[in-house]
Structure 1
């Protein structure tokens, strides 16, 4: 799909303005918080790919192993001639497991907020799957109301891996499912990856890796503000702060100020006290009952559910 350069420029300006508004609003509230989607610029997406390969970070390899076991069954239940729609596609590594099993797909539609990352992924997939129609969509899947009309004609199967559903507040997760249900239409289905509740130490280690990659991922948000919003964050004056809140069933991630400091962002000044935090991400964990309740509220029902032997992760097919 060829897009005029002036359209790309307009879209980049609009994305930059959305980022500016979200940052100024988020830094101006108490407590301070910036939506997790802004972690995923090109550098942030690349850092997250590194996180997925870390020994402490079990979700990626565990989900991939489950998908390798159930991909043929998913393909059988989906039926021929489907369009596979992936929400938050990233590098589409796990997607290849489904693409290899669903050999008669009508199209693959990856949706991602990072245009640079998405374009590179789409180019690789077109090369590796020359007979597959790849129609990437750049944007926020929480706001997506429609898909490219060229993919119409077959059943739509959504794919939302990586336990990204856990990054949403429960009410946001329900809103996402309801919107996805409308986009995927009445005969559609959704393949959903969900991280399960487990030993708190296992969770803590997964988000505080010994190599410090997750810390760089969190602080990259400040680096992005410096680059795109003329901010003056000193990254050495902030730390990555991640812990498991067992009562809420979620990992909480923040950038914590290590000293009193004043920072300029997009022409505005913000004072930080020592220990003050900027919330960047939640990661909710579910049990099977929680998955079923979430699906029901979103207008879906569990058709099939697969787990690994250690009950770390689940893949559900929602109809």
Structure 2
């Protein structure tokens, strides 16, 4: 069974909670009304968006997934030793649950696995597959927005450390102040334990450009799916053919930016309001900040973590950090 949490305050009564569709409509309306237009990348991840992202991870141009998998496979015994026996894993933004298998295979009697993801349908499917392959492991999926306040179940009585797992350099999707807020919250949730986090590193802009502008157009489809989702769930009538995928490296900010760019003058209705797009106007859908090892460790320290070991690949494309949570 999937535990579902509201993305709003946990203390709010059921009557006060906003449905996922209502939250999406509210945030999209605000994004369309603002200048510049920008919306959280969390809305990429409905079932179709999650499926497309899984395809992105297999693309030849998209190095982060295979590079991080290589790091985890190579160093899993060392990482498991840091976790200690009977550790509990909390994975933020769990997705397809592929990477955690490398950790589970190396761990000493894992106590429980709590995958958290905003896409409940995709999470349920992935969790069922994992449970089938690890029948002795308690798998307790939580459908929630992990960027909001989380109330996790109490640890089992015999559990060891609670270890957060945040792979994929998803930390790079946050604005700097949002990243600090997330890490500060995670430090409290993981008190006495640790966080294992993946962070993409600064590198040749040409490598970055290719990773977000793949030759098969999967990333473009993933980006445009946000508008398709709005059509499906909110009744908008975005003409996907009239929006282009745009992704580029903003060197001064050390980040990839993804945009949906209007190909012509057009307008779209949402909630009884009309929103105008001029030719060339864009909706900013994602940032993917890149880090140096020192900058990630400094950010973690500000959030209350004590930086520990760092593992990277031979080409220095990606890094995986062990961060000690406060006691």
C-alpha deviations, 1:266-299, integer Å up to 9, x for none? 3221110000000100000001110111111111
Question: Take 2:223 and 2:108, find their aligned partners in 1: how far apart are those partners?
Answer: 38
Contact 1:306 1:314 in 2 (8 A): yes
**Comparing 258-267 and 107-116, the one that deviates more:** 258-267
C-alpha deviations, 1:179-230, integer Å up to 9, x for none? 0011111x11000100000000000000000000000000000000001111
Contact 1:84 1:156 in 2 (8 A): yes
Q: Which residue of 168, 180, 184 corresponds with 2:174?
A: 168
Q: Does 1:140 align with 2:141?
A: no
Q: State the TM-score, normalizing by the size of structure 2.
A: 0.93
1:14-33 matches, within 5 Å, as: 14-33=19-38
Name the structure 2 match of 1:180: 186
Change (3 A) 1:287 1:150: closer
Contact 1:225 1:265 in 2 (8 A): no
Contact 2:257 2:288 in 1 (8 A): yes
Corresponding residue pairs, total? 314
Question: Take 1:301 and 1:312, find their aligned partners in 2: how far apart are those partners?
Answer: 23
1:226-241 matches, within 5 Å, as: 226-241=231-246
Contact 2:2 2:124 in 1 (8 A): no
Contact 1:47 1:217 in 2 (8 A): yes
Question: Take 1:12 and 1:47, find their aligned partners in 2: how far apart are those partners?
Answer: 29
Q: State the TM-score, normalizing by the size of structure 1.
A: 0.95
Q: Does 1:56 align with 2:58?
A: no
Question: Take 1:154 and 1:16, find their aligned partners in 2: how far apart are those partners?
Answer: 38
Question: Take 1:181 and 1:3, find their aligned partners in 2: how far apart are those partners?
Answer: 22
C-alpha deviations, 1:60-97, integer Å up to 9, x for none? 00000000111111111111111100000000111111
Q: Which residue of 210, 215, 220 corresponds with 1:215?
A: 220
Q: Which residue of 255, 266, 273 corresponds with 1:250?
A: 255
Measured after TM superposition, the shift of residue 154 of structure 1 is 3.2
Name the structure 1 match of 2:8: none
C-alpha deviations, 1:11-50, integer Å up to 9, x for none? 9971111111111111111111111101100000000000
Question: Take 1:150 and 1:84, find their aligned partners in 2: how far apart are those partners?
Answer: 10
Name the structure 1 match of 2:95: 90
Measured after TM superposition, the shift of residue 3 of structure 1 is 7.1
